[in-house]
């Protein structure tokens, strides 16, 4: 490998990946299409808008906090860019809700971020879970005619941004671990594992509580195509591979969720 994990070359590679693939679109300039009545009703009925706005806002605040304590200029620039993109996601969703007159509730931001590294770890693993399933759902939303293509297209940059974010995150985590003195690596590895466990547990709980407000699972309930679990998981895998394959092969990719899902698909009875 030309870019050993933890090396200066590796750092440049994953930071430049994020910085150089930034899409400078402006949320305020998105031309929202005129929606037919049925599509508008479907958009109104989706249960996750409050959570989507809140999640993106929290992500922006937490990542900003990490950028503020990062000493390395290149890492700081890349992390700050991710924070900007998360806050732009929030602006895009809010602009759409405003345009289509969909009410949403926004909690005032009261987060005190005492430990930005822990928050970034937690959020990063959360994004690895959510993005994987969101890629599959987005594919079904685009191909099922559930929404007009122009509306789906407006969210395409957000989907690809989440793909960039999770590639950046897993490389940042591996780099941060390798950069530490040998005796500081085990505590960091434990933190990574704890953050992963917290997010896995949260998603298992959300998956169990039917009708919850979770973005990924609630979204699946509202799709109009007949989805078997196996087809859904296979589509998530294919979309995940497609979206992540465009970045430098030397960069790490999230492995845990795709590996678990690959295992589940191989064990799932065929219908
Ligand atoms: Fe986001
Ligand atoms: Fe993100």
Classified as helix, coil or strand, 88 is: helix
Q: What is the pLDDT of residue 221?
A: 52
What confidence tens digit (pLDDT) does each residue in 10-45 have?
A: 999 999 999 999 999 999 999 999 999 988 998 899
Q: What is the pLDDT of residue 1?
A: 57
Q: How far apart are CA 168 and CA 163, in angstroms?
A: 9
Q: What is the pLDDT of residue 46?
A: 87
> What six digits make up the tokens of 205?
């709980």
Measure CA of the first residue to CA of the last residue in the chain; give whole Å. 42
Q: What is the pLDDT of residue 161?
A: 97
Span from the CA of 161 to the centroid of ligand 2 (angstroms)? 6
Which ligand ends up closest to the CA of 158?
1
Span from the CA of 125 to the centroid of ligand 2 (angstroms)? 11
Q: What is the pLDDT of residue 157?
A: 95
Provide the whole-model pTM: 0.90
Span from the CA of 267 to the centroid of ligand 2 (angstroms)? 31
Q: What is the pLDDT of residue 145?
A: 82
Mean pLDDT by 10 residues, the chain (271 residues): 90 98 95 92 89 92 96 98 97 96 81 91 95 93 85 93 98 97 96 95 78 46 66 95 97 95 86 62
Beta carbons within 10 angstroms of residue 11's beta carbon: 22
Span from the CA of 270 to the centroid of ligand 2 (angstroms)? 34
Which ligand ends up closest to the CA of 127?
2
Residues 6+ apart with CB under 8 A from 192: 121, 125, 173, 177
Chain centroid, CA 194 distance in Å: 19
Ion ligand 1 nearby residues (CB, 5 A): 56, 86, 89
Q: What is the pLDDT of residue 223?
A: 54
For 180, left (φ over 0), alpha (ψ -120 to 50), or beta? Answer: beta
Torsion of CA 192, 129, 233, 226, to 10 degrees: 160
Question: Closest Cα partner for 42 from 211, 224, 183?
Answer: 224
Span from the CA of 227 to the centroid of ligand 2 (angstroms)? 26
> What six digits make up the tokens of 221?
């309930």
> What six digits make up the tokens of 230?
């196996």
Which ligand ends up closest to the CA of 57?
1
Span from the CA of 130 to the centroid of ligand 2 (angstroms)? 10
Span from the CA of 157 to the centroid of ligand 2 (angstroms)? 11
Q: What are phi and psi of 3, to 5 degrees?
A: -125, 75
Q: What is the pLDDT of residue 271?
A: 62
Classified as helix, coil or strand, 268 is: coil
Which ligand ends up closest to the CA of 169?
2
Give the Å distances, CA to CA, from 136 to 19, 60, 148.
Answer: 26, 24, 17
Q: How far apart are CA 268 and CA 271, in angstroms?
A: 9
């Amino acid at each position: 490998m030309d870019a050993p994990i933890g090396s200066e070359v590796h750092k440049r590679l994953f930071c430049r990946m994020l910085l150089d693939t930034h899409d400078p679109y402006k949320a305020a300039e998105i031309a929202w299409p005129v929606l037919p009545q049925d599509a508008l009703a479907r958009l109104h009925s989706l249960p996750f808008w409050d959570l989507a706005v809140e999640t993106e806002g929290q992500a922006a605040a937490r990542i900003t906090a990490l950028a503020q304590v990062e000493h390395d200029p290149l890492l700081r620039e890349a992390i700050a860019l991710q924070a900007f993109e998360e806050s732009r996601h929030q602006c895009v969703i809010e602009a759409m809700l405003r345009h289509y007159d969909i009410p949403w509730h926004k909690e005032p931001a009261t987060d005190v971020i005492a430990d930005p590294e822990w928050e970034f770890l937690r959020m990063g693993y959360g994004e690895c879970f959510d993005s994987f399933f969101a890629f599959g759902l987005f594919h079904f939303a685009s191909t099922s005619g559930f929404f007009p293509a122009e509306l789906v297209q407006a969210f395409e940059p957000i989907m690809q941004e989440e793909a960039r974010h999770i590639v950046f995150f897993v490389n940042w985590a591996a780099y941060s671990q390798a950069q530490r003195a040998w005796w500081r690596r085990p505590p960091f590895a434990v933190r990574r594992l704890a953050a992963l466990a917290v997010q896995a547990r949260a998603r298992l709980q959300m998956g169990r509580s039917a009708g919850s407000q979770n973005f990924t699972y609630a979204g699946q309930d509202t799709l109009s195509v007949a989805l078997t679990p196996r087809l859904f998981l296979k589509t998530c895998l294919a979309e995940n591979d497609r979206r992540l394959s465009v970045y430098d092969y030397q960069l790490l990719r999230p492995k845990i969720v795709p590996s678990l899902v690959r295992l589940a698909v191989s064990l799932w009875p065929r219908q």
